[in-house]
Amino acid sequence: MKLKHGSHEETEIKLRWLLLGELATWIGSSFVWPLTSVYLNKQLHISLSVIGVVLFCNCASNVLGSLLAGRLYDRLNPYPLIVTGLGLDALVLFLMAFFHGWPEYWFWLIMTGCISGWNGTLINSIATSLRKYSGRYVFNLIYFAQNVGTVTGTLLVGYLYDFSIEFLFILAASLFAIACVNAAIHYRPINTFHQNRKKNGTKKGKKQKVDPMPKYNVMLMVGFLVSLAVTWLMYMNWESNLSVYMVSLGIPFHLYSLLWTLNGAVIVIIQVILARYPNLFKSLFQQIIFGTLMFAISFATLIFAKDFAHFALSMFILTMGEATAFPAVPAYINDLSPINSKGKYQGEINVARGIGQAFGPLFGGMIIDRAGYIPFFIIAACGIFLVVLLLLPLHAKLHKHITLYK
């Protein structure tokens, strides 16, 4: 296996400021996404199928934002891109506080979806510029910060929703404004990184083209992206249709919100364990396979869930998968990506995730409307398990031929 080393940047963003920005934005995001399906269904009386279309548009715009941001990161200065993106997200959330009827809510979800894809890709791409730590360490900590934000946000949203939805949106906008100010002040070193990258990419007066990924790396990356898309296709139904299912079984909405608090808390614990025992998994690939299997098992257990305790067990198993597989995929693809095209391939991770997110609620809503929840849970478990059967022989065939870029 070949190994290539990138140059160390003497000036870079402090990891703690990157984590602070992620914490603030994920608390803000957690004030919005858990209530979307319930708010549209129960307050605005929108059907599950239409909600699926709404969330599809939100995630499709997320894909567009991710594609644009990934390519622009490799070519332009990321500093104004990320500051502008965070500021626009704050503005959209502020407007949602005053205009959240139908269909304007749909329009705002499309806008915030695009901007979220933009910001998410830029943050992951900026994370690849941090040379002081390993990619696995950086992405695990980013995922840790995201889920501390999820714990905090979902712990509050079930109760604040009953108080005032306008207040929720204003609070979310304020958190994104804090993240924007944090970026404006503390992300300035990315200017230096960009200037150094620009100098290194210039040869004989011509700009060097973005390096293509080696063939075997591409084949393995495609396998990971397919697995990520399928997993998110099913997982998105936890964030959308499962809330309606639990409420229909007589389980209060605040207990559904509590499940996401459990989700975030378990992720935090698992990330601490992974940080303390970095060799718990022998490789990132083993970590991805373990996590993907946990996703499949979690949907299998949902077949028998009728009360909160069983939903909590399913969420615990799901969270084990999420906490291990999701941060490992960008870390592995970071290792597969040439030094001056990392933004492009980090963007494609968000595209794969966005495709799963876009079709997930629509796919689940259509199956649930026609066949019910139990058939959907069976399809979800089988679909994710098939992904594992795809990845194992693919990796066995290719892993000796790939090139790693550290």
Q: What is the pLDDT of residues 318-336, one digit of tens each?
A: 999 999 999 899 888 888 8
For the record, the structure tokens of 249 come out as 């079984």
pLDDT at position 81: 93
Cα torsion 298, 299, 304, 309 to 10°: value is: 40
User: What's the rounded Cα separation, in Å, for the pair 6 and 131?
Assistant: 8
Nearest to 95 by CA among 25, 181, 173: 173
User: What's the rounded Cα separation, in Å, for the pair 51 and 104?
Assistant: 14
- Tally of CB atoms within 10 A around 272: 12
Element containing residue 322 per DSSP (H, E): helix 308-336
Residue with token string 């495709």: 355
pLDDT at position 211: 66
- Tally of CB atoms within 10 A around 16: 11
Does a structural domain hold residue 217? yes
| pLDDT lower than 70: segments of the chain | 1-11, 34, 158, 162, 200-211, 406
pLDDT at position 175: 94
pLDDT at position 204: 42
Q: Are 121 and 65 in contact (CB under 8 A)?
A: yes
pLDDT at position 83: 94
Nearest to 29 by CA among 97, 93, 84, 125: 93
Does a structural domain hold residue 202? no
Instruction: Domain count for the chain, please give it.
Output: 1
User: What's the rounded Cα separation, in Å, for the pair 115 and 121?
Assistant: 10
User: What's the rounded Cα separation, in Å, for the pair 116 and 83?
Assistant: 13
Element containing residue 75 per DSSP (H, E): helix 48-75
pLDDT at position 202: 54
The CATH number linked to 261 is 1.20.1250.20
Query: Which amino acid is residue 259, in one-letter code?
Result: L
pLDDT at position 6: 44
Q: In a 3-state reduction of DSSP, which class is residue 403?
A: strand
Does a structural domain hold residue 1? no
C-alpha distances (whole Å) from 50 to each of 1, 40, 278 are 49, 9, 44
Does a structural domain hold residue 272? yes
Within its chain, how far is the Cα of 65 from the centroid?
13
4 phi, psi to nearest 5 deg: -120, 140
For the record, the structure tokens of 399 come out as 């892993």
Q: In a 3-state reduction of DSSP, which class is residue 214?
A: coil
Q: What percent of the residues of the chain are helix, what percent strand, and what percent coil, each to the nearest 5?
A: 80, 0, 20
Does a structural domain hold residue 320? yes
164 phi, psi to nearest 5 deg: -170, 120
Does a structural domain hold residue 105? yes
pLDDT at position 285: 92
Cis-peptide into 338, omega within 30 deg: no
The range of the structural domain enclosing residue 131 comes to 11-195+210-405
For the record, the structure tokens of 328 come out as 């490992």
Query: Which amino acid is residue 27, in one-letter code?
Result: I
Q: Which long-range contacts (CB under 8 A, 24 or more apart) does 268-273 make?
A: 268/144, 268/147, 268/148, 268/151, 270/319, 270/320, 270/323, 270/324, 271/140, 271/141, 271/143, 271/144, 271/147, 271/323, 271/327, 272/144
Q: Are 167 and 19 in contact (CB under 8 A)?
A: no
Does a structural domain hold residue 3? no
pLDDT at position 174: 94
User: What's the rounded Cα separation, in Å, for the pair 212 and 218?
Assistant: 9
User: What's the rounded Cα separation, in Å, for the pair 245 and 357?
Assistant: 19
Does a structural domain hold residue 204? no
Cα torsion 30, 268, 86, 339 to 10°: value is: -140
